[in-house]
Amino acid sequence: MKIFIDTAELDEIKRAVSWGIIDGVTTNPSLIKRAVDRRKGKISMEDYIKEIVKASPGPVSLEVIGRRANEMIEQGMLLHEKFSPFGEVAIKIPVNPSMNDDENIDFDGLKAIRRLSSEGIAVNTTLVMTPEQALLAAKAGAAYVSPFAGRIDDYIRANMGMRIGEDFQKGDYLNHDLLRRARDKILGDAMASASSVREIYESRLINSVADQGHDNGVYSGVDLVARILRIFRAYGFKTEVIAASIRNPRQVREVAELGVHIATVPFNVLKGMIKHYKTAEGMRRFMDDVVPQYRELFMKKKEL
Ligand code: G3P
């Protein structure tokens, strides 16, 4: 599995690259905003992005800001032309640039993906929230799709009435296994007194319980990644899946278990992946147990 770092902070990119485990970088307008706000205009945007591209050992995803196909194609080409001389660049195109359901946008994201891909530009399809969107992006020729695992977990929790910052924190793991068991338990109890399949199937109560804790049959952000991988494998799509909007190390583990191609991981989550209480405790014990004769092995001749 490849690991990208999900940040526009140059210091974080350089540090993580120095650890020897980074294969690329993903950015988006919000991450760029955060990085630029911190620098208060000390470096031009163009130079800053060049530095990011130079620092990355693999593709750097840069996002367009247009919402019509022509704009996105033009901007994608411009970003590619400006920055690909300094390293590998992928262009991030939103799968659907509509800002609400009623907006009349004619599959502009897919048109832009098709055109840029046919020009040989790698497209990273962003804001993918359903397997259906991923399928369309793969059909349009995208090199990558980025399902937003953490935001789907947020959405599932929001639909259960849970509020971010109050009922859960951004980095909290969504225990989808517990959710499934809770739903099964309540459904089992509610079904116990029914006398026909139809009665269960039509029961409002049972349907309202069955509808909880998932998003239209997607049971977690990790489940979204699993379903996309299943579809891509079934048809042999070459499109790679980037598990994105990763909030905690356990999500990284779960998408790795699925065999996802890439996970794009924020700096803090990367740091969390190396930690364990027993590892630190083990280190303390080993260090306490070092006897002088063993220490001598590592001393240079003249120190002896
Ligand atoms: O990888 C996409 C990412 O930058 C969005 O993450 O945590 O804001 O949902 P988040």
CA 243 to ligand 1 center in whole angstroms: 10
Contact indicator for 49, 37 with CB cutoff of 8 Å: no
Q: What is the pLDDT of residue 36?
A: 83
- Report pLDDT digits (tens) over 240-285: 999 999 999 999 999 999 999 999 999 999 999 999 999 999 999 9
Residue 110 has a pLDDT of: 98
Rounded CA separation 81/77 (Å): 6
- Residue nearest (by alpha carbon) to ligand 1 atom 8: 245
Q: Write down the pLDDT at residue 303.
A: 64
How confident is residue 39, by pLDDT bands cut at 50, 70 and 90?
A: confident
Report d(CA 172, CA 153) in Å as an integer.
10
How much is the pLDDT for 103? 79
* Identity at 5, one-letter amino acid code: I
d(CA 7, CA 21): 15
Q: Whose CA is nearest to atom 10 of ligand 1?
A: 245
Tell me which of 28, 169, 225, 265 to substitute to probe ligand 1's pocket, judged by most ligand atoms within 8 Å of the beta carbon.
28
Rounded to 5°, the CA angle 169-25-30 comes to 50
Q: pLDDT tens, 85-131?
A: 999 999 999 999 999 877 777 899 999 999 999 999 999 999 999 99
Protein residue with least CA distance to atom 3, ligand 1: 245
* pLDDT for residue 188: 96
- For ligand 1, whether the C-beta of 26 sits within 6 Å is yes
CA–CA gap between residue 203 and residue 274 (Å, rounded): 48
Nearest atom of ligand 1 to the alpha carbon of 264: 1
pLDDT tens, position by position, 50-71: 999 999 999 999 999 999 999 9
Place of tokens 């459904």: 187
How many Å lie between the centroid of ligand 1 and the Cα of residue 3? 15
Q: Chain-wide mean pLDDT for the chain?
A: 95
What is the structure's pLDDT at 24? 98
Q: Count of residues for the chain? A: 304
Q: What is the distance in A from the centroid of ligand 1 to the CA of 213? A: 21
Q: Whose CA is nearest to atom 6 of ligand 1?
A: 245
Atom of ligand 1 nearest to the CA of 242: 1
Give the C-alpha separation, 3 to 5, whole Å. 7
Report the catalytic residues.
92
Element holding 119 (H helix, E strand): none
Q: Which one of 245, 264, 270 would you pick to mutate in the ligand 1 pocket, going by the greatest count of ligand atoms within 8 A of its CB?
A: 245
Contact 137, 145 (CB under 8 A): yes
Question: Look-up: residue for tokens 């998408």?
Answer: 255
Element counts in the chain: helices (H) and strands (E): 15, 8
What band does 304 get if pLDDT is binned at 50, 70 and 90? Answer: low
CA distances to 37, 128, 229 from 60, rounded to whole Å, are: 20, 18, 22
Question: Does the beta carbon of 244 lie inside 6 Å of ligand 1?
Answer: yes
DSSP 48: H
Instruction: Say if ligand 1 is within 6 A of residue 264 CB.
Output: yes
Counting from 1 in the atom list of ligand 1, the atom nearest the Cα of 154 is: 9
pLDDT at 140: 98
Percent of the chain with pLDDT over 90: 90
What confidence tier does 160 reach under pLDDT thresholds 50, 70, 90?
A: very high
Instruction: Check whether 82 has a pLDDT greater than 90.
Output: yes
Query: How high is the pLDDT of residue 292?
Result: 96
Higher local confidence (pLDDT), 189 or 300 = 189
Residue type at position 158 = A
Q: Is the CB of 151 under 6 A from ligand 1?
A: yes
Beta strand pairing call for 60-63 and 24-26: parallel
Of ligand 1's listed atoms, the one at least distance from the Cα of 247 is: 7
| Residue 38 pLDDT | 83
Does CATH place domain 2-164+217-276 in 3.40.50.300?
A: no
Give, rounded to a whole angstrom, the gap between the first and last alpha carbons of the chain: 46
Q: Ligand 1: which of 6, 169, 265 to mutate, judged by most atoms within 8 Å of the beta carbon?
A: 6
In the reported structure, the alpha carbon of residue 284 is separated from the centroid of ligand 1 by a whole-number distance in angstroms of 36
